[in-house]
Chain A
């Protein structure tokens, strides 16, 4: 909804009847307006239409994706809470009746982050943290997946700087370690950045809270920050495409206060600890603010709520009911307390200097009734609006396959193979993100065993136990562009392999589906294929999807982002002592490759760099993937290997360089006889692992591989020679570079792109 169109709605008073024109301004189609009118038996007034349009926005209702999301596997013996709640909950101690569980979810904050990068990213973190602690969990880890436009686009430096500062500014102050971050650059994101934020918390599995407004007469209480005019209709903005000049939408971006949220989490956890003696249900006010929390809480419990909006704490004067209901001011929660316990609830929040006000009560009429100044301004059925949002089976066609690779496309690659390797290692997308990580407190909580600067997945201890939770946030958008089904499938495989490499078994998945417009059949086709790809991988690997988010309309005018189904995989390690980094890697340690070698450079980062979206992507065999990951996991927990990494974007060259850089030892590697240099070092069509073993341990690993029928090749070793060297068996093709200079060049890439001549000072 662009600013020039807002005039009609602005002229309307809260209780004035609306028309189809008003509905269009609020992002509803004429059909949806008719549906709403039919549902309530009359024309909605302005407040009512505002509530309906927010609830039925793509962002809140998943109206274009819901029919497809049903195909995801969402159940399993460890699943305690599946999709539909604020976050999914998975058991990490199935052997105990009242042991630990983890709550986690990933969510997008793409549109706001493009318009106002610092606050957009910060409130993305704040929102996902609230989703997690609303379930009763204390957040112990955060991750993010970022996508920016090409590095020489004029907006990129300020976007990178603002988003990274925003994520750090919020998470660091709140006190959650940000243990994983991935940032990539592609011109497809020039007009639409992606900011996907993940949070994970721990809770006792017999103390899970849900957003239920039950018990007629129980008080509905509002806690946290006051309501202002910020973020009004944010959910609707997030459900629309951008057009040029949309920076004027800044007023629809919320402003975050991480300190307030820190107080809120501590107060809520104190309240939860008192159990059902005080509390009935709780929900955060995220997208669509008070509207979605009121409707969803009543709908889940099959009850109604009556709210007196005059009681809502307000930051500004003269706010209308419409503004109060659609504000997306941050750090607010709605809760239903036990009747008569208001004072005890209030005392807990008062200890933390937070407002806590009774704003209404639970009713049995199934309605959400709102009054402002003594006048009823809204009377809508809760359940139908929340549950019976429109669902669309949008037309979709398979996205056209990429054009084939021609000889011209790969001529440069083949002619100068060493340059091809250097281009990959020094690409902004694959360059180290040390500059980013350094701005995140990765250790607050004192439970971080490994973060993304040290391993293929983050590993965080479950407090007070020997268990740890492994996690990674993944998507190879280039693969998804080449083949939306296979790419999404591989995103799950990547996460599964990453957690296996730190010794964890995957126990749950959360996803955030970032795509273009569902109203363009080719793009809808990408969404459908992406869901199917995730479903296929999750089913075969036996990992359920327990939470998620869909972000559509990531496009400017008619240019959409690369399909980016972000997949967060969470795994568990039962004994951290078995996988903890021992004494580190040392000179003389040996590099092995496990798994069948790549067969082609098709689908590789190197080809994308030189030719763009061309060629194809081979189908990955999932059953051999499972076996390979199981072996790596066993080697890791058995202490047979010192380090293990799945070989992913950028191929073996990138993985070897990453290990060398992180342990500050020079690597030298030679491919086995008969393998092509470029395919061996840059190919990504099959899944392999790079593992590092002590010189004495080679035979044991070889024997384990032989027993499992998995190929194992000795590639080389770590040492202190000055040059980093990759070669084929004949020594005909060689990449040889001064290690220190290569590391310095790689580390300089991200800081240089931010502090370049176009960068402006940050907020």
Chain B
């Protein structure tokens, strides 16, 4: 049982995710290089970490979404395997169309690194927070302005697939910090609500020593996953 953390060229939170899973959550984690075409057979969950995959050149997440490992991640997600995309990982999941919408440049055109308050709102087996709980996680991104068209937003809302919302909203109801529509900080996808993408960094808040542990439940949900692909090697 291992959490596979994918390393793309330019990923820079991959090691942090491994540390959070192993040190703070007592799980096992393996880094998987983007040039692989299969996940380790013991994979029970996948993390697409933050960073600047392929330098964010072209469009953030666009190149990584087309790298060699992604078909395997796609099959894993389609089969109901838990997949977490953090920051750049969220952008990659959107570019790979595993999640709806896109992440645009922050409204003010600047990179933002700060703590934000989030409402946990959606339904997913990976969201083990108390209903309506408010948590604090740090963000660190230049392109976290979530965009989807009105129909998609309505559908996400209806299906309770908005995972997190920024608590601070502007007068249009968008996130103050980056302009995200309806303050969406994370969304849920996959056939079994098994795919989550979010801009904040839960791996940076897994120990009180590092400023808080509000991110731990999310990573712990991955660690305790017993998901296994029914046909070994299919991924």
Contact = CB atoms under 8 A, between A and B. Distances in A.
A174 interface: yes
25 contacts: A169-B111, A172-B52, A172-B113, A173-B55, A173-B56, A174-B12, A175-B13, A175-B51, A257-B55, A263-B10, A353-B9, A438-B110, A438-B111, A438-B112, A439-B110, A439-B111, A443-B201, A443-B204, A444-B12, A445-B15, A446-B210, A461-B210, A580-B208, A580-B209, A762-B109
B160 interface: no
Interface residues of B, number: 34
Residue among B203, B206, B211 with most chain A CB within 10 A: B211
Contacts of B15: 445
Nearest to A138: B15
A445 to B, nearest CB: 6
B85 interface: no
Contacts of A576: 209
Given A351-B35, A444-B50, A447-B210, 8 more contacts: A172-B140, A173-B52, A175-B12, A262-B55, A438-B110, A438-B111, A442-B140, A444-B13
Contact of A259 (B54, B112, B113, B211): B54
Given A443-B113, A443-B138, A448 B210 contact: yes
Interface in B188-235: 201, 203-204, 206, 208-211
A441 B52 contact: no
A229 to B, nearest CB: 22
Contact of B20 (A257, A259, A439, A446): A446
Contact of B113 (A173, A260, A442, A580): A442
Given A259-B10, A262-B10, A440 B113 contact: yes
A577 B209 contact: yes
Interface residues of A, number: 36
Interface string A438-465: 1111111111110000000000010100
B114 A438 contact: yes
A-B pairs, 3 with minimum CB distance:
A175-B12, A259-B55, A446-B16
Interface string B81-115: 00000000000000000000000000001111110
A724 interface: no
B203 to A, nearest CB: 6
B52 A262 contact: yes
A189 interface: no
Given A174-B12, A259-B52, A446 B203 contact: yes
A124 interface: no
A352 interface: yes
A173 B51 CA distance: 7
Nearest to A173: B52
Nearest to B7: A266
Contact of A439 (B19, B51, B56, B113): B113
B192 to A, nearest CB: 29
Given A443-B204, A446-B19, A446-B20, A263 B113 contact: no
Interface of A: 165, 168-169, 172-175, 257-260, 262-263, 351-353, 437-449, 461, 463, 576-577, 580-581, 762
Contacts of B204: 443, 446
Contacts of A260: 55
A168 B112 CA distance: 10
A74 to B, nearest CB: 33
A444 B10 contact: no
B108 to A, nearest CB: 10
Contacts of B110: 165, 438-439
A280 B74 CA distance: 43
Contacts of A175: 12-13, 51-52
Contacts of A762: 109
A173 B10 contact: yes
A441 B140 contact: yes
Nearest to A172: B111
A174 B10 CA distance: 7
A306 to B, nearest CB: 33
Interface string B139-176: 01010000000000000000000000000000000000
A258 B55 contact: yes
Contacts of A447: 210
A511 B20 CA distance: 35
B16 A444 contact: yes
Contacts of A463: 19
Contacts of A443: 113, 138, 140, 201, 204
A333 to B, nearest CB: 17
Contacts of A169: 111
Nearest to B112: A438
A254 B168 CA distance: 40
Contacts of A438: 110-114
Contacts of B203: 446
B52 to A, nearest CB: 4
Contacts of A351: 33, 35
Nearest to A435: B110
A577 B208 CA distance: 10
Nearest to A260: B55
B40 to A, nearest CB: 18
Given A172-B111, A438-B114, A439-B113, A259 B57 contact: yes
B111 A168 contact: yes
A263 B53 CA distance: 11
A461 B113 CA distance: 19
Interface string B106-127: 0001111110000000000000
Interface string B1-30: 000000001101101100110000000000
Contacts of B206: 446
Nearest to B209: A580
A687 to B, nearest CB: 30
A174 B9 CA distance: 11
Contacts of B51: 175
A446 B211 CA distance: 10
Contacts of A168: 111
Contacts of B201: 443
A441 B113 CA distance: 5
A263 B9 contact: yes
Contacts of B57: 259
Contacts of A461: 209-210
Contacts of A440: 111, 113
Among A353, A441, A447, A580: residue with most chain B CB under 10 A = A441
Nearest to B14: A175
A175 B203 CA distance: 15
A174 B111 CA distance: 14
A349 B52 CA distance: 19
Which of B12, B35, B208, B211 gathers most chain A CB within 10 Å?
A: B12
A258 B35 CA distance: 21
A438 B209 CA distance: 21
A504 to B, nearest CB: 16
A571 B113 CA distance: 26
A449 B113 contact: no
A762 B105 CA distance: 14
A449 B12 contact: no
Contacts of A262: 9-10, 12, 52, 55
Contacts of B50: 444
Interface in B42-93: 50-52, 54-57
A614 B111 CA distance: 41
Nearest to B12: A175
Nearest to A437: B113
A444 B16 CA distance: 8
B177 to A, nearest CB: 10
A440 B138 CA distance: 12
Contacts of B210: 446-449, 461
A608 B20 CA distance: 48
Contacts of A580: 208-209
B198 to A, nearest CB: 16
Contacts of B209: 449, 461, 576-577, 580
A259 B33 CA distance: 17
B113 to A, nearest CB: 5
